[in-house]
Amino acid sequence: MSGTFTHDFKTPAFKGKVSIPTGLFIGGKFVDGKKGETWDVINPTNGKKITSVASGTVEDVDYAVKVAQKAFDETWGLKCPGNQRSKYLNKIADLMEEHLDEFCALEALNTGKPFSWAKKGDMDMALDTFRYYAGWADKISGKVIETSEDKLSYTRHEPIGVVAQIIAWNFPIMLLAWKVAPALACGNVIILKPSEFTPLTALLFAKLANDAGVPPGVINIINGTGPKIAFTGSTLTGRKIMQSAGKSNLKNVTLELGGKSPNIIMDDADIDQAVDWTAHGVYWNMGQACCAGTRIFVHEKVYDQFLKKFTEKTKKVRMGDPFGDVDIGALVSNQQFERVLDYIDSGKKEGATVHLGGEALKKDGFWVEPTIFTDVTPDMKIVQEEIFGPVGVIIKFKDDEDAIRQANDTTYGLAAAVFSKNVDRALQTAHRLNAGTAWVNCVNQLHAQVPFGGFKQSGIGRELGEYALENYTAIKAVHVNFGHKI
């Protein structure tokens, strides 16, 4: 039926053969798309084709929805008790862990991120997330609500039914886990669209979910282009999805979108730690993180010291073959590569100082140097807009109030960080920053237990933690009247 992709990895980080089906995964089977279309998957370290995968269309989605609805009505939903859903989620996690290195290798090959980060970051979080929600699956509770003694009022937190999930290319398997785990825990069936740039780990996942015995139709994975529905991606696309939902059937929408997160270094920060964390904030995942701390505000008293150390730190960031001993790899695609270079260009044109970097590497693939801009003004594009590359801007400030005001002066509100050892200053600043996550003396720390999501145009709703369950349950209030007669 559908094809297979096999790759023999012969790399320092991983040696082995990995084989995955490349079809659409619908109703427990891998199939070609109804129109037989395919999509080329590109290796970002050299711009060359890795393989092609089946690419779905509206017809495939319609079919998948029917299959999924049937599974929901007959074998999943509340017909599959929570503890059984829990077993499936744990089994999925166990199988993923058995194939850990294969996942990491595929992710590194497909996205250009280092194998080592895929292992200690992406997959570690993905496994944690599946196991965390496995634990929730049999703890979905409603409430009994006191009204009067002649009735019983209670709520049921029911699965919604068929949910659509669209994920981004920056953390493919991790975002898949963030979406799939809570949705399944709550008893929903899923139509998931990975990014067309990075479908490979999703396909391995589908194969393993099948092996885990998840009933056919519960998880459906359809690669293809264009958004159709829980969505992680750009704010621009997020709008389109919400508008579509409004136009069609008012489906509930949760969105995890972009950011331009501020990172504030106070004069009483541990500067060495601040430098290390700031580098992590900007360069992790090549800056392709929605919560990247890309606006770096440094108190004037420590500005020179910080800049010097941060520059040294940045120079030590090792960029190269994802399977080597490196810190960062290539950007995910040519599209992104050009976007980031455009932004760097605009920084130069608008008069910012390129303090470090600012160039693409002259070789095949999508490589951009870690870049630091200084002497910026607030209205510059590189200060306002999300670049999604390894580019930080450093801004001097003298006054806490001014730093907080500047930090909050954005349409985004995904995350923020503050470095200070003073308990009052650190926590009160964190509280005043308008963002869904505030990091104190750290950056980009995520846990399956802790909610994550945006204020303002960075999104709607929260993922992770207990909070994510709300996204995937429909509340029904039941009023049972005993004695009230009219």
**How many Cα atoms occupy the beta-carbon half-sphere of 106 within 13 Å?**
29
Decide if residue 467 touches another protein (CB under 8 A).
Answer: yes
CB of 77 to another protein, least distance (A): 11
Binding to another protein in span 107-146, by CB under 8 A: 143, 145-146
Decide if residue 277 touches another protein (CB under 8 A).
Answer: yes
Among 139, 308, 318, 447, binds another protein (CB under 8 A): 447
Single-letter code of the amino acid located at 244 = S
The whole-angstrom separation of Cα 59 and Cα 169 is 24
User: Binding marks (x or -) toward another protein, 232..271, rule CB under 8 A?
Assistant: ---x--xxxxxx-xxx-xx-x--x-x--------------
Decide if residue 486 touches another protein (CB under 8 A).
Answer: yes
Decide if residue 451 touches another protein (CB under 8 A).
Answer: yes
Decide if residue 475 touches another protein (CB under 8 A).
Answer: yes
The whole-angstrom separation of Cα 52 and Cα 54 is 7
Tokens, residue 427: 């926590």
* Residue written as token pair 């995955």: 20
Write down the catalytic residue from 37, 97, 146, 256: 256
Please count the residues of this chain forming the interface with another protein, following the rule CB under 8 A: 69
CB of 44 to another protein, least distance (A): 25
Binding to another protein in span 137-196, by CB under 8 A: 143, 145-147, 151, 153, 155-156
The whole-angstrom separation of Cα 135 and Cα 116 is 28
Window of 105-113, 186-194, 330-338, 465-473 that interacts with another protein by CB under 8 A: 465-473
Among 28, 215, 320, 465, binds another protein (CB under 8 A): 465
CB of 146 to another protein, least distance (A): 7
The whole-angstrom separation of Cα 134 and Cα 310 is 41
Alpha-carbon dihedral angle through residues 245, 251, 256, 260, given to the nearest 10 degrees: 40
Decide if residue 453 touches another protein (CB under 8 A).
Answer: yes
Q: Is the CB of 5 or the CB of 439 nearer to another protein?
A: 439
CB of 419 to another protein, least distance (A): 10
CB of 428 to another protein, least distance (A): 11
Among 436, 469, 471, 472, binds another protein (CB under 8 A): 436
Decide if residue 478 touches another protein (CB under 8 A).
Answer: yes
Paired sense of beta strands 151-159 and 144-145, if any = antiparallel
Q: Is residue 37 among the annotated active site residues?
A: no
Q: Which positions are catalytic? A: 256
Contact positions vs another protein (CB under 8 A)? 143, 145-147, 151, 153, 155-156, 235, 238-243, 245-247, 249-250, 252, 255, 257, 273, 276-277, 280, 411, 426-427, 430-431, 435-442, 445, 447, 449-453, 455-457, 459-460, 462, 465-467, 470, 474-482, 484-486
